[in-house]
Amino acid sequence: MNQRSWLLFLALLVVAAVRLYGLAGAALPDYDSVYNWQTVQEVASGNLTHLFHQGAPLFYLVFAPLAWLGGNFHILQYANALLAVAAVGNLAAFVGREARLSAWQTAGLVLFIGTSVFLTFSGRDFTMNSGNLLLFAGLLRAYYRRLQTPNRQSLLRASIWLMLGISFNYRFLFTVPILVAFELLAADGLLLRRGNAWRVLAVLAAPFVVLGLVSWLVELPLQRQWPAVYYGLIMRGEPNLAGNVGIFRFDMLYYIYFLRDFEVPLVLLTLLITPVLWRRELFQQLRQPNLVRYLAVWGYCFLAGMSVLIKAPAGSCWLTACSTPWPFLACVDWFLVACWAYW
């Protein structure tokens, strides 16, 4: 391996040590983690009754084989935590390459993102957050390539990542309006060219068709199947376990306060001043892709979209992932100052 690969690997080892520290003596931290563990055990035994719970069939199918190794939930917790570490590496490698960071700077970015307070906490449970982040990092990389190299191959590659994300957790549907905004901003007509739209739709529909057939073969009740689960999540008429009804609750300041209270202050500060700090990159040559604008569109669209939906801390995972690289990039020429400010 070259120097960059070695430094990235060593930085990820440090992040893994932070994420796994004390996990052996920790219980599953919340209701969702316990429910997911029970559902994985059901799926591993061949019972698919709750396969589509939370619109996350791929999550349960991925972890079901690990349940065959024994009933200890820590095995699943470790695997989930390492998924989050892989997500950090994928995201940092993407940002480092596009921002032309040196090997040492990229390793520093891994540590910066990987020790983020909220991402560290959310990477130690047994929910979809870790896998969501890994697939989101893959989508970020693939769709940026589609913007840089607008051809059918890059478009379909991004579609595959989106398909995997939607299969892993229904929250990936929140990325669709943002991707539509990017398509409108690019205005290159690629999606509508030579049947590309049909190919994209076919890719996205594939898991619904396959798992729909599985549902039919195992004779799942209609209310347990994927479309019914989506309908229940969107048209929620009864209070959920948190007492929430419906899906909309407008509050523009919720996630601002959340980042203020539970994340490194430098992240929130950079989120607020980015339009001034990088105004040239953000507001000039709008059809020419650049990394700052790309991450900013994702971050601010997530912030705006989640502000009108029911609030949940898990919703800030992607927002944090998009905004955490900004303070590092702003201070990259003063790396020691950045590290001091962060810690």
- Looking at residue 302, its amino acid is F
Close Cβ partners of 310 (under 8 Å, ≥ 6 residues apart): 244, 246, 247, 248, 249
Specify the pLDDT at position 313.
65
How confident is the model at residue 175, as a pLDDT?
93
pLDDT over 90 (residue 83): yes
Whole-Å CA distances, 257 to 91, 117, 184, 262, 313: 25, 15, 31, 8, 11
The residue written with tokens 């619109």 in the block is 55
pLDDT digits (tens, 9 = 90+) for 59-76: 999 999 998 887 688 899
pLDDT band, residue 312 (cuts 50/70/90): low
* Cα separation values, 37 from 49, 87, 127, 168, 301, Å: 14, 21, 9, 15, 32
Give domain status of residue 165, yes or no. yes
- Total number of domains constituting the chain: 1
Q: What is the mean pLDDT of residues 282-303?
A: 85
Among 1-15, 52-66, 327-341, where is mean pLDDT lowest? Answer: 327-341
- Structure confidence by residue, pLDDT tens digits, 97-147: 998 888 988 998 899 899 888 788 888 889 999 999 999 999 999 999 999
Nearest Cα to 311, choosing from 264, 243, 260?
A: 243
Residue 266 lies in a domain: no
Residue 239 clears pLDDT 90, i.e. is over it: no
148-168 pLDDT tens trace: 999 999 999 999 999 999 999
Structural domain includes residue 331: no
Q: Which residues pair with 309 in a beta bridge?
A: 248
- Confidence at 256, pLDDT banded by 50, 70, 90: confident
What tens digit of pLDDT does each residue of 183-225 get? 998 888 999 888 999 999 999 999 999 998 888 888 888 767 7
Residue percentage of the chain with pLDDT more than 70 = 88
Q: Is residue 269 part of a domain?
A: no
The mean predicted confidence, pLDDT, of the chain is: 85
Q: Which residue has the higher pLDDT, 114 or 323?
A: 114
Q: Is 309 helix (H, G, I), strand (E, B) or coil?
A: strand
Q: Which domain holds residue 202?
A: 3-246
Q: Which of 93, 151, 95, 111 is nearest to 13 (CA)?
A: 111
Query: Does pLDDT of 307 surpass 50?
Result: yes
> Which is higher by pLDDT, 105 or 232?
105
- How sure is the predictor about 341, in pLDDT bands with cuts at 50, 70 and 90? very low
Cα angle at 171 between 9 and 327, to 5 degrees?
A: 45
Residues 78-84 have a mean pLDDT of 94
Residue 30, domain member (yes or no)? yes
Q: Is residue 318 part of a domain?
A: no
**Residue 112 located in a structural domain:** yes
208 domain-assigned: yes
**Which of 23-32, 82-91, 331-340 is predicted most confidently?**
82-91
